Structure 1
Amino acid sequence: MQQANPIKSVGTKLLLIFFVSIVAMVLVVGIFSYQISKSVIKTKVADASHETIVQATDKIDFLLENMENISVQIMSDDTIADNMTKFKDKALTQFDRLQTGQLVGNRLKSYVLSNAKIADINIIPFAADVTDTYRSTTTLKDETFKAPWFEEVKKADGKAIWLPTSKAGYVTSPNSFALGRVLRNIKSGSVEGILIVEIKVTALKDALGVVSIGEGSEIAIISADNNVIYSDKTDDIESKYAIDVAANVASTGNDSANFDATKNGEHFLTVYDPIQKSGWLIAGAVPVGELVKDAKKISNLMYVMVFVSMLLAVLVGYMAIRMIARPLVAVRNLMMEGARGNLTVRTKDTGRQDEIGQLSASFNQMMEQITNLVSQTTVSAQEVLDTAAELSDASKKTAQSAKEIAVATEEIAGGASSLAVEAERGSDLTGSITQKVNHVVEANAQMEAAAAEVQLASRKGTAYMSELITKTGTTEEMTRSMVEKVEKLQESTSSIRKILDMLNNITKQTNILSLNATIEAARAGAAGKGFMVVADEIRKLADQSKQSIDVVAQITDRIQTEMQETVAVLSKAYPIFQEQIVSVKDADEIFKQVQSQMDGFADQLKEVTDSVQQLRDSQAVLSDAMSNVSAVAQQSSATSEEVASLSSEQLSISGGLVRLSEKLEDLSNSLKESLSKFSI
């Protein structure tokens, strides 16, 4: 038997279909779950980090506003204004001028002592050649008057200008940032110089407090040109910030946003918000890897599930091969044996009640019917062959007798006694031929009955196969209906998913509202403590709602995934039912061919019956002729010519009988040769 290619077998195709579909589905779902989780975590952390940065910005704005208020108090201080006016009086002695300057300096020192965040306050003259100043200690460097910030403050003409942190300081205090503005005397309206309020850089740290947007994060205050004003790393001050936040602001036009950036080859999520008073930016950067490290669990779980799905696919494929492919292969092999003429093959009784079991039972019934048919036909063919041999012998004898009758006819003239003897001998031979012909008629009737039984069995087999085709089509319709119902159920779960998304958005808005309420309560101080408790409870309730929604979403996703797998399995089983219908239709064609061949055999058998009937009629004529010969034996002389004519006719009939006998013998041999191909 020629072995089929294993790769093209139904079992291998089923195994590959199950393996590829299950593994691909699990892998795609896992990758999408990981990417979605990563995106959700990143988005939520970005939102929370932005809120944290906004709160920190408010604190820095509050600090800078206090410093500007102090500068305004200095400008509106009557003591300072009066002494600055008096300092310019030309009538004052040098000693009085010195005391007046000390009074202004002491008044400025009092502001420094009253606020621990301030490092020093100085009034700088507009030009380096002005010798009369209110300073009595440190001498200003010429570089101070040439610094870009000095010109910037002069051009602002009284507007507060915030100067970034300087490690060297601006006047007296290193590691400080400063507020500069043109100082005008409120009494005289004259410009007295530039007021420089130097503030300790630690004030920024105290104002920010403990600000963290995630593990491994860093917070920095940067200027509009991306220079570091404050950072936990002191060495970074006055240097360019590693992440170009200013470029992102310039390209997007958003003063407050978040974006992805790369720092030292590592991916960071950067959040920033502007400080309204100074135009600076507070920027926070957190490694994305730290944010999404919990999402790695989903990735690891995906690999585990892929391995489990591979095992499951192999197991399902093996079960499909065992339950479907192997029985089909066994039935195919048996049918190929039957097609080669081996009618002894039978399927084993597996006790299965499904279509495979019914197919096996139908195959056994079909082979039983064909075996019985061939057996009966073989017996009938043997009988026809034996009868044909006897008929052939009788025909030859009849031909020989006809020849002898012809010779006897020629010798009729010799004597009536010789004619009577020959007539009696012809009468005896005619009786023998009659018996043989009757025997052939009986054998032919048995063959017709056997052929009718074979035709009936063939029609029953064809009817059984038609019924099997109908049932298989019904099964196919049920499978298709099941797929449609599962797809409708899947659409319902999609609707549930949309509702859960809406509830999740409501929970997110509730969280934001509770956070805003907490901020407002914190600003309100003691009066807002009760409102803060309510905001905390609302946040807890929102978190609990979110957890419940996540659990329901996971259950819904799992149900949807299982329904998708069910649809995939039913869709893959549908082609198998179609292949089964094709196989059953092929078997139905085989039955129809058998029925057609049996119809042809019946027609040929009918022709043999007609020929034997003609032979019987001819034998009756011969018998009558011999009787007439015996009756007119005494008149042989007068009727010799008539007897000669009858003898010629007898010879012609005998030749036809011989030909019919040979034809019947050839037909019997052909039938026997056809049946010899089957093994029973």
Structure 2
Amino acid sequence: MKKTWSSLLDSLRHAGKTVQTKLASRNSGASSTGTGKISGVSEGIRSNPLKSVGVKLFAIFFFCIVFFVLVVGMISYTKSKDVIQNKVADASEQTIIQAGEKLDLIYSSYEDLSMQIMLNEDLRKLVTDIRASERNSYNYLELSRQIGDKLNVYSFANKNIKAVHLLTETGDGISSSSGNLGATNRGDRDWFKKVLEAGGQSVWLETSAKGFVEESAAAVGTQTSFALGRVLKSVTTSQITGILLVEIKLEVIGDQVKQINMGEGGSTVVVSPGGNYIYTSDREQLAKPHNLDIEMNAFDRVSGQLKTRDSQNQLVYYKSKLNNWFLIGSMPVNELVKDARVIFDITLAMAFGAMLIAVVIGYMLARMIGSPLIQLRNLMKEGEQGNLSVRMQAKGQDEIGQLSVSFNQMMEKITQLVQQTNISAQEVLGTAGELSEASKKTAMSAKDIAVATEEIASGASSLAVESERGNELTHAIGMQMKTVVEANVIMGTAAGEVQSSSKQGIAYMDELIGKTNETESMTRSMVEKVDNLKESTRSIVKILDVLGNISKQTNILSLNATIEAARAGAAGKGFMVVADEIRKLADQSRQSIAIVGQITEKIQKEIEETVNVLSKAYPIFQEQISSVKEADEIFKQVDQQMGGFIERLSEVTESISQLETSQVVLNESMTNVSAVAEESSATSQEVASLSTEQLNISNGLVNLSDKLEELSKSLQESLSKFRV
């Protein structure tokens, strides 16, 4: 029964508070006339059209249509541009590959021609004969002319060959199809070294604006060319018989490249692996580094497609299988994708048309949805002010019409609820008065009982707390005493170890003092011996001086004997030989004495340096002995102090043991007191808890009665504001 009343009172209290709060918040700024307030609110809302549902629907519809049209158009434009670019690049790559393979066939024909020249028996015989002839002789000139005639046959047979030259392995000219090579040596030129290092393999030489042999360039003209070089070797001995150089006109490549169409603004070039132009339409750039805005290491395959660093040009390339030259086609990206611009323009036109359509449809949606919602909002505002008689006219079967019907039904239900609540509030108000009187009497009695019980429980609790605290303190003291005893024992052990280490240190210091004294005496003896050695070296120097003088006198005597033997004529030849040997021996002795003197002088310098070092080291040994003696005294003092410290530790240990025994007795007593106090405290707290609970229930009952009465009055006042 008690729980039922409590649940009912809680429900009524929460319902009353909710209604009172909402009504207070709605009516706080209301005027005496609800119509004026509603019109003011409506005008305030209409003044900000951005918050209107119609405007939001219009904006969402407009931006969705325009956004999707633009996205689809831009995606189509981007994809079509990429497809067109890839297709054109693929087609251009195939064109470049075909042109490159055709150039490989042309390169191969010239390699075959060089091999044919190298295997020509008549030419090889003429080369062998001219190498055996003396240069500038008539036979040499005649053989050179015959070789030139042979080379002319190959040069005239192919109009694209500028000249065919034959050189020696040192770079001197032998013959040429274009005339006399002159006396210029070409062995120090890079292209010549490259051909020579190839050892018989064909070597393709990059374009040279001046040609490779200046004399022939002057004879034929200044036509730009590239060349093929090969070393000629003897079939039998494999020795180098000459260097063949075939200069080829650049038009051989130009005629093929001009047939390649890279579109408007495009170009086709041939570039060496080193990055220099082999062929380009701009003759000023020949044999110079390329300006394609890309690194050469990017061309890492036989053929492929690349873009420049600024992505402005599409490159397609083919790498020659014979000379590794790159045939590169360049096309502006803008020219490749200019046809896709039509799609972009159509996308913009469709986006503009979609914008117009979205404006019309959005306006219609705003009118169809926004106006009914504004009307419904105004009616709900009027109902918020307490007028429950408002109703909305339903004009359709759509969601807005259904919302109107639901609004009308909701207002009917709220009207009925308010009427029923008003009747119930009158009945609850009468019951609340009677309940309040009974609750106050019960609360007064429970309060007196609770006060007395709390005083008893408080005293018992204080006693239990104090006894428990004393028990914990005695237990903590016991634990600390054990820790102190253990630490004291460890300290005694450590002190004994320190004393033992101190004695050992004293023994080591005594031994160190003895060894230091021995080192000092040995150093002093070493200084004396080094001084004696220094005197000995001085004696050796004097002896060397005497030996040097003897060597000089011997040399003079040998010269005199030689002179006398020369005067004696044939009879003195034997003596002259002896005198000459004596002179040689004297020279050898003089040289040996000089070497020994140098060695002795070096030894004397090192002895002086040793004496200086020992002189500086001796005071250090003196200081070391003093430091060792002081350390020995310190160790002895430590040993004496550690003995006294160990004795004091023994006395402290005995005192702590006695204190630990007393603490055990105290701990047992405090445990007994704590147990009794806890039992008393538990009993008192149980009684106090029951009294407090009873007092709380009585107070709660009084409070609920008061709140129920206030809630009933408040609910009655709130319901009086509704007009039904």
Q: CA deviation at 1:324?
A: 1.3
Instruction: Return the alpha-carbon distance in structure 1 between the equivalents of residues 186 and 318 of structure 2.
Output: 32
Helix, strand or coil: the match of 1:254? coil
Specify whether residues 142 and 675 from structure 1 end up closer, same or farther in structure 2 by C-alpha distance, changes over 3 A only. closer
Q: Which runs of 5+ in 2 are unaligned?
A: 1-38, 218-222, 428-715
Encode CA deviations 1:258-299: one digit per residue, 9 max, x unaligned.
22114xx77111122211111111111111111122222233
Q: CA deviation at 1:138?
A: 3.3
Q: CA deviation at 1:109?
A: 0.7
| Kept after mapping to 2: 8 A contact 1:341/1:677 | yes
Specify whether residues 183 and 165 from structure 1 end up closer, same or farther in structure 2 by C-alpha distance, changes over 3 A only. same
Q: Which runs of 5+ in 1 are unaligned?
A: 363-464, 466-583, 607-669
Encode CA deviations 1:217-240: one digit per residue, 9 max, x unaligned.
111100111100001222221111
Q: How many pairs are equivalent?
A: 385
Out of 330, 341, 366, which is 1:296 matched to?
A: 341
Specify whether residues 97 and 596 from structure 1 end up closer, same or farther in structure 2 by C-alpha distance, changes over 3 A only. closer
Q: Does 1:161 align with 2:203?
A: yes
Helix, strand or coil: the match of 2:290? coil
Out of 418, 433, 443, which is 1:597 matched to?
A: 418
Encode CA deviations 1:631-660: one digit per residue, 9 max, x unaligned.
xxxxxxxxxxxxxxxxxxxxxxxxxxxxxx
Q: Does 1:87 align with 2:134?
A: no
Which range is displaced more, 162-171 or 326-335? 326-335
Helix, strand or coil: the match of 2:170? coil
- Please provide the CA RMSD for this pair: 3.6
Instruction: Return the alpha-carbon distance in structure 1 between the equivalents of residues 86 and 185 of structure 2.
Output: 48
Helix, strand or coil: the match of 1:145? coil
Instruction: Return the alpha-carbon distance in structure 2 between the equivalents of residues 69 and 677 of structure 1.
Output: 116
Give 1:260's aligned residue.
307
Give 1:77's aligned residue.
120
Out of 207, 210, 224, which is 1:175 matched to?
A: 224
TM-score normalised by length of structure 2: 0.48
| Kept after mapping to 2: 8 A contact 1:79/1:104 | no
TM-score normalised by length of structure 1: 0.51
Q: CA deviation at 1:212?
A: 2.1
Give 1:328's aligned residue.
373
Give 1:195's aligned residue.
244
Encode CA deviations 1:488-545: one digit per residue, 9 max, x unaligned.
xxxxxxxxxxxxxxxxxxxxxxxxxxxxxxxxxxxxxxxxxxxxxxxxxxxxxxxxxx
Encode CA deviations 1:296-340: one digit per residue, 9 max, x unaligned.
223333333332333233222212111111122123334545666
Specify whether residues 344 and 143 from structure 1 end up closer, same or farther in structure 2 by C-alpha distance, changes over 3 A only. farther
Instruction: Return the alpha-carbon distance in structure 1 between the equivalents of residues 137 and 721 of structure 2.
Output: 149
Give 2:151's aligned residue.
108
Helix, strand or coil: the match of 1:120? strand
Q: CA deviation at 1:49?
A: 2.0
| Kept after mapping to 2: 8 A contact 1:126/1:194 | yes
Instruction: Return the alpha-carbon distance in structure 1 between the equivalents of residues 162 and 414 of structure 2.
Output: 112
| Kept after mapping to 2: 8 A contact 1:163/1:179 | yes
Specify whether residues 133 and 63 from structure 1 end up closer, same or farther in structure 2 by C-alpha distance, changes over 3 A only. closer
Encode CA deviations 1:114-170: one digit per residue, 9 max, x unaligned.
112211111022235x57657793334747332101111111111100001111011
Instruction: Return the alpha-carbon distance in structure 2 between the equivalents of residues 287 and 141 of structure 1.
Output: 50
Q: Does 1:205 align with 2:254?
A: yes
Instruction: Return the alpha-carbon distance in structure 1 between the equivalents of residues 328 and 721 of structure 2.
Output: 97
The within-5 A match list for 1:9-20 is 9-20=52-63
Q: CA deviation at 1:58?
A: 0.2
Give 1:354's aligned residue.
398
Q: Does 1:306 align with 2:345?
A: no
Give 1:45's aligned residue.
88
The residue type equivalent to 2:314 in the other structure is L
The residue type equivalent to 1:320 in the other structure is L
| Kept after mapping to 2: 8 A contact 1:160/1:179 | yes
Helix, strand or coil: the match of 1:279? coil
Helix, strand or coil: the match of 1:170? coil
| Kept after mapping to 2: 8 A contact 1:216/1:287 | yes
| Kept after mapping to 2: 8 A contact 1:63/1:207 | no
| Kept after mapping to 1: 8 A contact 2:257/2:268 | no
Specify whether residues 310 and 590 from structure 1 end up closer, same or farther in structure 2 by C-alpha distance, changes over 3 A only. same
Instruction: Return the alpha-carbon distance in structure 2 between the equivalents of residues 18 and 125 of structure 1.
Output: 88
Give 1:279's aligned residue.
324
The residue type equivalent to 2:306 in the other structure is F
Instruction: Return the alpha-carbon distance in structure 2 between the equivalents of residues 175 and 43 of structure 1.
Output: 36
Specify whether residues 131 and 156 from structure 1 end up closer, same or farther in structure 2 by C-alpha distance, changes over 3 A only. closer
Q: CA deviation at 1:342?
A: 7.8
Out of 156, 173, 188, which is 1:146 matched to?
A: 188
| Kept after mapping to 1: 8 A contact 2:388/2:411 | no
Instruction: Return the alpha-carbon distance in structure 1 between the equivalents of residues 235 and 58 of structure 2.
Output: 94
Give 1:579's aligned residue.
none
Give 1:248's aligned residue.
297
Encode CA deviations 1:9-38: one digit per residue, 9 max, x unaligned.
211221122123222222332333232223
Instruction: Return the alpha-carbon distance in structure 2 between the equivalents of residues 72 and 113 of structure 1.
Output: 17
| Kept after mapping to 2: 8 A contact 1:45/1:291 | yes
